[in-house]
């Protein structure tokens, strides 16, 4: 979690400022710098359809920043049944204006703006035939200060979308598409990189110095060896008796763990040693074959398409990191050291060894980057951030082909069969998440025409993947999506609005990995009935069943639509 950076000198008798008090609970999640980024943000919502999910998103973001709503719908009775930021007095007025005013009322520090300024015609954006709304959007974009981020909701007219996309390309604005169902980047198991299998000389020396007479240490010293040092020491011994091999396989790890525990002293008053316990626990997470996450591998394999892309700082740094990896066989050290039993001075020293190394690695990456074409002005802070998160960076944009659609469909169908079998076998005690691909497909089919019938949705899906015709889950998904008939349920909109807001916060405060700063498509559940909530929840997610690649492919699929 982001470190909290705040002034070291607090106001002695006044305590925190009013503003710090007001934002206290969130300042604890992201730095004051993140808060500043949120305050400087200027967010555009291009709203359409039933129109609640976008407004719910903004509600969660109402911060001292700026927001603009572009929406030419006129408030009707149905809006009042689903949108909390409208009331009786809004009937017949512009939805953009009414929502802006009631959102703004949440926080007097926020600046809200809306477009169009006048009613264009008394229908929703989607139903409109003329280009009045489109012209508005173009002039909205021109007449406003640069947007930090643009969110748009489906269904959206293709003309509007193309205006948004060209603006985003020109200004490098992250776009967030809000539709329905599910998608973000996959969960990667969180590990701190202690580089136990690939230590650098200073770490090795520090560890050897502490353990050279390990058996002669008194109980106090022995019981306060940090587990990093314990593991480095016994890894050396292990390799000597195992042909120089590290304990990587499950069996070897188990044996190594027993070996380490057998070295703990038990004839002391406590009857055991906590630090050796910690060491044994740390083995599984911290001793790993030096393999790249698929997402990182994909970044390294990515062929940049043109000179502009080649010179973007993201790709320059990615190239520099790849060069680092090829040279050292590992990614730059993130530098964080988890807490572990140790003497204060020893821990602080070890912490500084990790930090120093991380700084050196980042410096090396920075120098490499600066020598690359377009890398002259690369920001050291961006390099730092990239190095800290290098293991998690993923590629989000890619182009799909119909073969991989077929392959995904097969894989996801198999996943569901396995999940079914597991459920039957264990009498429900273990469940595997069901695939959400089918929900995706059904939702994607309604991107531009949300009130489709189940048959229309089915035929749109089978147009892409003919073999989907016989799938029960595709059929059910189509029926369930059609059931909503383009309406929104407030709970689903609120839920989706919460998830989108979380992602937006991560983008703006850069809490999230730099890779996700590329255009991001978030599709969450909002047009569909409640059932999907937990089912889609199951499916979005389980890293057990959807491997990173499959998920990237799903993302590609979305870009088709």
Partner 1 sequence: MAAAATESGVSRWQYLDHIRRTRGPFNQDSDVSEEALATLDKTKILVIGAGGLGCEILKNLALSGFKDIHVIDMGTNSYALAPDTIDISNLNRQFLFRKDDVGKFKAEVAAKFVEKRVQGVKITPHNCRIQEFDEDFYMQFQMVVCGLDSIEARRWINATLVNMVDMENQDSLKPLIDGGTEGFKGQTRVVFPTLTPCIECQLDLYTPRAAVPLCTLATIPRQPEHCIEWAHIIAWDQEKPFPSLDKDDPEHITWLYRKALARAQEFGITGVTYSLTQGVVKNIIPAIASTNAIIAASCCNEALKIATTAAPSLGFEESYMMYSGDDSIYTNTFKYEKKEDCAVCGEVAKPLEVNPNWTLRELLDSFSTKADLQLKKPSIRAEGKTLYMQFPPSIEEQTRSNLDKTLKEGLGLDVNHEVAVTDPAFPALTFRFILRFA
Binders of partner 1 among 166-185, rule CB under 8 A?
184-185
- How far apart are CB 316 and partner 1 at their closest, in Å? 25
- Measured from the CB atom, the residue of 75 and 320 that comes closer to partner 1 is 75
485 binds partner 1 per the rule CB under 8 A: yes
- Measured from the CB atom, the residue of 164 and 194 that comes closer to partner 1 is 194
From 161-169, 297-305, 370-378, 426-434, span contacting partner 1 (CB under 8 A) = 426-434
Count of beta carbons in the 10 Å neighbourhood of residue 218: 7
- Measured from the CB atom, the residue of 373 and 543 that comes closer to partner 1 is 543
13 binds partner 1 per the rule CB under 8 A: yes
- How far apart are CB 56 and partner 1 at their closest, in Å? 7
Instruction: State the DSSP code for 426.
Output: T
Which helix or strand (DSSP H or E) is residue 191 part of? none
- Measured from the CB atom, the residue of 142 and 218 that comes closer to partner 1 is 218
Give the DSSP letter string of 219-282. Answer: HHHHTT--HHHHHHHHHHHHHHHTTT----SHHHHHHHHHHHHHTS--SSTTSS-HHHHHHHHH
The two three-digit tokens of residue 522, written as one number:
């978030």
- Helix-, strand-, coil-residue percentages of the chain, each rounded to 5: 55, 5, 40
- Measured from the CB atom, the residue of 276 and 324 that comes closer to partner 1 is 276
Nearest-CA neighbor of 194 among 330, 346, 328, 385?
Answer: 330
C-alpha to C-alpha distance for 297 and 176, rounded to whole angstroms = 25
Size of the residue set binding partner 1 (CB under 8 A): 100
Count of beta carbons in the 10 Å neighbourhood of residue 428: 9
From 186-194, 205-213, 258-266, 287-295, span contacting partner 1 (CB under 8 A) = 186-194
C-alpha to C-alpha distance for 6 and 3, rounded to whole angstroms = 9
C-alpha to C-alpha distance for 441 and 405, rounded to whole angstroms = 11
Choosing from 168, 476, 517, 518, the residue that interacts with partner 1 (CB under 8 A) is 476
Give the DSSP letter string of 78-145. Answer: HHHTT-TT--GGGTTSBHHHHHHHHHHTT-TT-EEEEE-SS---SS-GGG--SSHHHHHHHHHHHHSP
16 binds partner 1 per the rule CB under 8 A: yes
Q: Which letter, b or e, does each residue of 292-311 get, where b requires 16 or more Cβ atoms within 10 Å of its Cβ?
A: ebbbbebbeebeeeeeeeee
From 106-114, 147-155, 198-206, 303-311, span contacting partner 1 (CB under 8 A) = 106-114
Burial of 270 from C-beta contacts in 10 A (0-12 / 13-18 / 19+) = exposed
From 138-146, 233-241, 406-414, 482-490, span contacting partner 1 (CB under 8 A) = 482-490
24 binds partner 1 per the rule CB under 8 A: yes
The two three-digit tokens of residue 23, written as one number:
């934002």
- Measured from the CB atom, the residue of 35 and 140 that comes closer to partner 1 is 35
Which helix or strand (DSSP H or E) is residue 328 part of? helix 313-328
In the region spanning residues 321 to 380, those forming contacts with partner 1, defined by CB under 8 A, are 339-345, 347-348
- How far apart are CB 289 and partner 1 at their closest, in Å? 22
Close Cβ partners of 204 (under 8 Å, ≥ 6 residues apart): 232
- How far apart are CB 518 and partner 1 at their closest, in Å? 14
Choosing from 224, 233, 319, 388, the residue that interacts with partner 1 (CB under 8 A) is 224
- Measured from the CB atom, the residue of 405 and 434 that comes closer to partner 1 is 434
C-alpha to C-alpha distance for 3 and 256, rounded to whole angstroms = 34
Choosing from 230, 366, 484, 552, the residue that interacts with partner 1 (CB under 8 A) is 484
20 binds partner 1 per the rule CB under 8 A: yes
- Measured from the CB atom, the residue of 65 and 247 that comes closer to partner 1 is 65
- Measured from the CB atom, the residue of 105 and 410 that comes closer to partner 1 is 105
- How far apart are CB 59 and partner 1 at their closest, in Å? 6
26 binds partner 1 per the rule CB under 8 A: yes
- Measured from the CB atom, the residue of 340 and 366 that comes closer to partner 1 is 340
Site string for partner 1, 62-101 (x = CB under 8 A): xx------------xxx-xxx-x--xx-------------
40 binds partner 1 per the rule CB under 8 A: no
Contact 433, 419 (CB under 8 A): yes
Could you give the residue ranges of the DSSP H alpha helices within 434-544? 437-444, 454-464, 472-484, 490-509, 531-541
- Measured from the CB atom, the residue of 210 and 505 that comes closer to partner 1 is 505
- Measured from the CB atom, the residue of 118 and 190 that comes closer to partner 1 is 190
The two three-digit tokens of residue 239, written as one number:
């390799």
- How far apart are CB 403 and partner 1 at their closest, in Å? 27
From 4-12, 138-146, 152-160, 378-386, span contacting partner 1 (CB under 8 A) = 4-12
Burial of 325 from C-beta contacts in 10 A (0-12 / 13-18 / 19+) = middle
In the region spanning residues 486 to 545, those forming contacts with partner 1, defined by CB under 8 A, are 487-492, 494-495, 497-499, 501-503, 505-506, 529-531, 533-534, 537-538, 540-543
192 binds partner 1 per the rule CB under 8 A: no
Count of beta carbons in the 10 Å neighbourhood of residue 324: 21
- Measured from the CB atom, the residue of 368 and 415 that comes closer to partner 1 is 415
Q: CA dist 176 to 242, 254, 375, 488, 512, Å?
A: 52, 45, 28, 19, 15
In the region spanning residues 238 to 277, those forming contacts with partner 1, defined by CB under 8 A, are none
């Amino acid at each position: 979690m982001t470190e909290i950076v705040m002034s070291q000198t607090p106001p002695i008798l006044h305590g925190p400022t009013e503003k710090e008090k007001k934002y206290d609970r969130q300042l604890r999640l992201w730095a004051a710098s993140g808060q500043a980024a949120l305050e400087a943000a200027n967010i555009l919502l291009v709203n359409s359809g039933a129109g609640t999910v976008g407004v719910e998103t903004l509600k969660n973001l109402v911060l001292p920043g700026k927001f603009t709503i572009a929406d030419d719908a006129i408030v009707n009775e149905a809006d009042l049944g689903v949108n909390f930021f409208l009331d009786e007095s809004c009937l017949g007025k512009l939805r953009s204006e009414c929502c802006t005013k009631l959102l703004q009322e949440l926080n007097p520090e926020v600046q809200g703006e809306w477009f169009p300024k006048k009613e264009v015609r008394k229908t929703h954006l989607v139903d409109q035939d003329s280009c009045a709304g489109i012209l508005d959007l173009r002039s909205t974009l021109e007449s406003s200060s640069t947007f930090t981020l643009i969110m748009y909701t489906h269904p959206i007219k293709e003309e509007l979308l193309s205006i948004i996309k060209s603006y985003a390309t020109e200004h490098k604005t992250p776009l967030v598409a809000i539709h329905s169902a599910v998608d973000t980047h996959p969960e990667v198991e969180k590990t701190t990189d202690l580089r136990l299998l690939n230590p650098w000389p200073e770490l090795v020396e520090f560890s050897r110095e502490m353990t050279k007479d390990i058996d002669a240490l008194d109980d106090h010293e022995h019981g306060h060896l940090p587990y990093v040092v314990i593991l480095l020491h016994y890894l050396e011994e292990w390799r000597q008796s195992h042909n120089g091999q590290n304990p990587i396989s499950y069996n070897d790890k188990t044996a190594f763990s027993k070996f380490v525990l057998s070295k703990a002293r038990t004839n002391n008053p406590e009857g055991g040693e906590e630090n050796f316990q910690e060491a044994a626990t740390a083995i599984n997470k911290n001793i790993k074959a030096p393999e790249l996450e698929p997402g990182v591998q994909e970044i390294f394999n990515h062929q940049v398409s043109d000179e502009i892309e080649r010179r973007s700082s993201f790709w320059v740094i990615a190239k520099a990191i790849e060069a680092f990896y090829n040279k050292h066989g590992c990614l730059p050290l993130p530098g964080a050291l988890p807490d572990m039993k140790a003497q204060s001075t020893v821990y602080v020293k070890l912490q500084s060894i990790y930090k120093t190394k991380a700084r050196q690695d980042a410096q090396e990456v920075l120098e490499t980057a600066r020598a690359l074409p377009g890398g002259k002005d690369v920001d050291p802070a961006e390099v730092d951030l990239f190095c800290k998160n290098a293991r998690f960076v993923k590629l989000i944009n890619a182009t799909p082909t119909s073969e991989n659609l077929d392959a995904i469909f097969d894989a996801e169908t198999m996943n569901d069969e396995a999940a079914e079998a597991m459920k039957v076998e264990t009498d429900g005690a273990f469940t595997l998440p069901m695939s959400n691909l089918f929900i995706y497909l059904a939702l994607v089919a309604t991107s531009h025409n949300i009130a489709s019938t189940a048959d229309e949705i089915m035929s749109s899906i089978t147009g892409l993947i003919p073999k989907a015709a016989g799938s029960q889950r595709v059929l059910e998904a189509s029926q369930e999506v059609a059931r909503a008939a383009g309406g929104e349920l407030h709970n689903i909109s609120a839920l989706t609005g919460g998830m989108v807001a979380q992602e937006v916060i991560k983008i703006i405060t850069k809490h999230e990995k730099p890779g996700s700063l590329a255009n991001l498509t978030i599709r969450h559940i909002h047009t569909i009935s409640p059932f999907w909530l937990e089912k889609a929840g199951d499916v979005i997610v389980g890293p057990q069943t959807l491997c990173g690649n499959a998920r990237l492919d799903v993302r590609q699929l979305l870009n088709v639509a």
